[in-house]
Amino acid sequence: MAYALELFFDPHAEAAVRALWANLEARGMPSMATASHCNHRPHVSLLVAQHLTPDQARVVVQPLTEATDVILRLGSVAVFPGRAGVVYLGVTPTQRLLRLHHVVHTRLAAVGVESGRHYLPDAWVPHCTLSQGLSHEQVCTAVRAIKRLRTIEADVVEVGVQNTETGRITPIAQLPHSQDAT
């Protein structure tokens, strides 16, 4: 079993990603909306670990709530290589986001949480998954289906821990929507 520490988007950005998921579904491909038994929400995972309790995850609440204006820019369509094709939206890796990711890992390591190697600070590719388990042909079709992507600016409004086996999401913190702060 694995657990993911996830950043969830404001309603407008979430709707934009869900529209891309629907576009893939309309073309006969699975999206994260239906890819598994999990109740996926559009998100960016900061970490995936074999063991992560909500109490452990709460050690990162302070740096996340202090970064009240974290805006993720999802602006490119990309693919992770391998047998089970994964199509995702790339997130622009700003210095602020990379520093925040590093602080999260440092704090979680201090309470004994070990991240999967793909999520370590020097290896992490910030992304929002659109679809996974695609054949080579489906990957090509998926990329063509969303090639006219406009950059999605996503305010991070919530942090949660998802059990990747059951799909259950445990909220850790609500963050102020940057438009609410004005």
Residue 11 is predicted with a pLDDT of 97
pTM over 0.85: yes
Give one word for 167, left, alpha or beta, with left for phi > 0 and alpha for psi -120 to 50: left
Residue whose C-alpha is closest to residue 56's, from 170, 178, 180, 181:
170
In the predicted model, is pLDDT for residue 178 greater than 90?
no
Q: By percentage, how much of the chain surpasses pLDDT 90?
A: 69
CA distance 120 to 78: 20
What pLDDT score was predicted for residue 37? 62
Query: What is the per-residue pLDDT for 79?
Result: 94
Residue 182 binned pLDDT confidence (cut-offs 50, 70, 90): very low
Query: Higher pLDDT residue, 182 or 74?
Result: 74
Of the candidates 153, 149, 167, 151, the one whose C-alpha atom is nearest the C-alpha of residue 41 is: 167
Structure confidence by residue, pLDDT tens digits, 138-171:
999 999 988 777 899 999 999 999 998 888 899 9
Confidence of residue 35 (pLDDT cuts 50, 70, 90): confident
pLDDT for the residue 65: 79
Q: List Cα–Cα distances, 64 to 29, 72, 107, 155, in angstroms.
A: 35, 13, 12, 12
Between 42 and 64, residue with greater pLDDT: 42
Angle of helix 11-26 versus helix 136-145 axis, rounded to 10 = 130
- pLDDT band at 61; cut points 50, 70, 90: confident
Cβ(6)–Cβ(43) below 8 Å: yes
DSSP 8-state class, residue 59: G
Separation between Cα atoms, residue 10 and residue 152, nearest integer Å? 11
DSSP three-state, residue 2? coil
The residues facing 47 across adjacent strands are: 5
